[in-house]
Structures are given as C-alpha cells and as structure tokens.
Structure 1
C-alpha cells in the first residue's frame, strides 16, 4: 500500500507541475470560446505532458526505486559479499566504458535485479536478497552484467523517450477525437460540451492501452540486448544458467510500477503477450544459444 501511495503522490505532483508549466505558456487554452482547436498549442500541450512526465519520472527514478524497494546503497562494504558485488560491477562498468553505477541490495525473497537512472554515468544497479541467496556467484555475475548492459546501452533513457513520444500522440489524438465526436455526434455548435470531455477521456484510455504495446515491444527487445551484454561480460553459459534459475515458478516480479526495470517479468499468453515487459525466459535462452 505504501508503494502504491508513493507512486500516486509522485505522479500527481508531476502532473501538477506540468499543468502549471502549460498554463504559464498559455498552451492549456488550445480550445477557444467557439470550440475551435489551436493545433499548435494542443501539440505543445501534449508534448509538455507526455514527454515532460516521462523524463521527470526518469530523473526521479533512482530516488523512487530506492523508496519503493527499500534498496540500500553499498557505500562501505560490510562483508565479503558486498565487497565482491562492488568489484564485479566496477569491472563490468570499466569494460563498458561507463562510470561505476551505485550498487544496492534490497529486501525480498524473490530473485530479481534492476537498473535505473537518467544518466549512464550516474546509474543504480540493485539486486534482491533472494537473488543473492539462491544464485551462485557465476549466475549473480551474469545478472549484474545484464543490468550494467542496460545502463551502457542507455535503455532507461531510450525507453523514456519512446514512452514520451507515445504519450504525446495519445494526448494529442484523444483531444482531436473528443472534438470531432462533440461536433458530429453531440452537435455542439459553440464551445465544447460534456461530450468532448467524456469522449476525450475514453479515447485517451483506449489509445493509451493500444500505444502501450509499442512501449512493451521495445521493453522486450532491450531485454534480449541486455542478455547478450550479460553473456559478453560474464559468459554465455553463466547468463543461460541465471535465466534458468529465474524461471522458477515461485519467482516474483517487481511491483507493477517498476516491473519493466527488473530482469525477471511474469510471462503471459495470447493477447497478454503484447503487454509483457519481458520476453518468456525460454525465448531469451534460445536467443543466447544462437549466439556465436
């Protein structure tokens, strides 16, 4: 419940800031008193909300992730395991020509890990207690390589960019659909009536669901790339072994708000596959086995 509350409060605060920015610029008034649309103002308004929200969330992602998972950054290693984690991540970051990310451990019996951060040279890599307890060091090394590869590939920024572009067009098109339906169906001649607002909200929900399949497709694609990166940094067999361990049916993914960041995501069947943030483990293993 605490995680959901933090997520809602954070997003409401972001929306409030963006609406204030749009109001200051005057682009929130894209409908005039007669009901005509100023398409340029609407596009700027949509861009501010869509792209702005995505990148503010990314800028806050390290702070949010720490708060939501309870991750504790290792500053001074308290034991040999923590010292080993720091050495591995430092070595892998050096191979990828990036600054060493912060390394953290978060409580939880599930086997999972995640990477986040707006800048590849100021990122965060975190692993769960459950992962450290249930995986060999070779497998943990591969998981760390997977996460460091996400950072080196700039996947967090690219995903935020894709999400921002998608959000922009969803907001833009939903308002146009609302305007057209208000005029053609509800026969509003001046201004804009309830039909505009109702239709725009429904259109935004429907278009948002459809557009999320594009974001999820890219999320699945980047997991294949990160697996390849983990295989290069730690070894293909280590990466395959780690993925097999993650396939444990009792394993759990991260909270919904962070599910796309984790190395493990719950598989789905049929239409659900379109909304999966991660490819099935079997497909990821097959892709690694084809590597030369």
Structure 2
C-alpha cells in the first residue's frame, strides 16, 4: 500500500510541476503570440486520461493477465511438481520480504514466466507448462527468483508511473504544438482549425512513439536488475544457466503484448527495432550478470 501511495503522490507532484511550467513559461509565450489556450484544463484532462489510464491498467493487471493467458492458479497442489513450484515461490518471497504471491501455470510450449500485480503483497507469479517441461529444478528456481525480484523491486508500479507521466506529456505537448501550427503557421484566428487537429494527431503519434521508446528503455534496465535478483535468491550460476537455456529455446513467446513486458523473455529486435523491445538481448543479460555490472 505504501508503494501505491508513493505512486499517487509522485504522479501528483509531477502534474503540479508540469502545471507550474505551463503557467510560467508556455501560457505567457502563447499570449504574446496571440494564442489563448486553457492549459490548466488540458492538464487536468491529460492527467485523468494519461495517468488514470495507467493506474487502472495497473490495478487490473493481475486479473487481465490470468484471463489473457488462461493461467490456472494453484489453490491446492495436485502433484509433486506443483508442490515444488509453490514451495519455491514461497521461499523466494520470504527471502524478498514480500507477501506470498498467487502461483499459476499457463499452457504454452515455450519457456517463459511472468509476474504482475498492483501490490508487492498481492502479486501473481505464473510459469509456462513449457518451462516446467524443459528446465531442470535449478534453472526453474532461478527464473522464479527473477520474477519474485520484479515484485520486490516494484517494477510493475514503476513502469505504470513512467507510462502515466509520459502519456500526460504527450497529450499536453501535442495540443500545444497543434495550437502553434494552427495560429502561427496557418494564421487561423477563429477557434481550432484543421491545422490544429491534424497536427495534434500527427504529434501524438510521433510523441507516442518516442514515449514508448523511453518506457521500453526502462523496461530493459529492470530486466538486468531482476536477473541480479534471481542470482541473489537462487545463485548466479543457476541464473546464468537459465538464461543460457532461454537462448536455446526455439519456441517464440506466445504471451499477449500486454503481458509480454513482464515475462522472463520477450521478442528480440535488431537496429532501430531494438529500441521498441522490452527485453535486452540474452547475450547482454548473461554478460552483465557475469560481470556483475548491475546492482
């Protein structure tokens, strides 16, 4: 609950700071240029849609992840494998100082796992059936440690915060740019002309892409930290072995896009495409873990 309160207070602080910047710098400049825009009203709406959307997404993340993946929560272990899985999650959760997460298995052929949830003490750890079939106990233990580290680090809340802040900036800045183009370039003196609406749409697309790149950069950094957490809970060699096994896994991820960022493994990309990837290359993660560059 403390982390969620911090999330809300941080968002509020950023909105207040953005409002001060708009009132001190943007509005006076627009007035001098003969442009009049209710930046306070836009900021309020941007906050509701930008940060509100991110917060709602975070609040529903656990429920939606279970529905989208068909994950089956283990209420009572039905076999030794399920018992081992629950016991391992419990042990790592105790090491991390968090509440016992829900433990689930979802039907997928690839090696993968994910963690999600709004609260550290009310999260979800789910592993694929492919992971249980293809990984040995040491490798699987390291993957579970990686996911528990995500919960301990509050990565889900952090990404929601970053996404909410960027959403707000995109909404506000696209409208400021739209007003400038409409009034200064197209010389429109009555209301909002076509130049405003076309520019807003274009600016939101461009700024949205840039915002996504920033979010994915933060996502990649948290993977390094979670790898280090998995090494701390299960042992560095076990974590390296798990990442090596993921490298040899030929099955592509079947996780829905909304959940994939929380998985142990995601789709890879080269060049500019890599800027939109939620996970760093596995070779880089293994090298970072060997060199202990993170943590």
Q: What TM-score bracket applies, with the shorter chain setting the length? A: 0.7 to 0.9
**How many angstroms apart in 1 are the aligned matches of 2:84 and 2:249?**
29
**How many angstroms apart in 1 are the aligned matches of 2:118 and 2:79?**
30
Structure 1-normalised TM-score? 0.86
1:1-292 equivalences in 2 (<5 Å) = 36-248=36-248, 250-253=250-253, 254-291=255-292
Q: Which residue of 2 aligns with 1:18?
A: none
Q: Which residue of 1 aligns with 2:23?
A: none
| Preserved contact between residue 35 and residue 192 of structure 1 (Cα < 8 Å) | no
1:112-141 Cα offsets, whole Å, 9 max, x none, are 100000001000000000111111011110
Return the offset for 1:255. 2.1
Return the offset for 1:35. 7.5
SS in 2 for 1:268: coil
Return the offset for 1:256. 1.9
Q: Which runs of 5+ in 2 are unaligned?
A: 1-33
**How many angstroms apart in 2 are the aligned matches of 1:284 and 1:83?**
30
**How many angstroms apart in 1 are the aligned matches of 2:193 and 2:78?**
63
| Preserved contact between residue 35 and residue 190 of structure 1 (Cα < 8 Å) | no
| Preserved contact between residue 140 and residue 242 of structure 1 (Cα < 8 Å) | yes
Query: What is the root-mean-square deviation in Å for CA atoms of aligned residues?
Result: 1.4
Return the offset for 1:274. 1.2
Q: Which runs of 5+ in 1 are unaligned?
A: 1-33
**How many angstroms apart in 1 are the aligned matches of 2:233 and 2:161?**
27
1:144-200 Cα offsets, whole Å, 9 max, x none, are 000000000000000100111111101110011111111123321011122211210
Aligned residues: 259
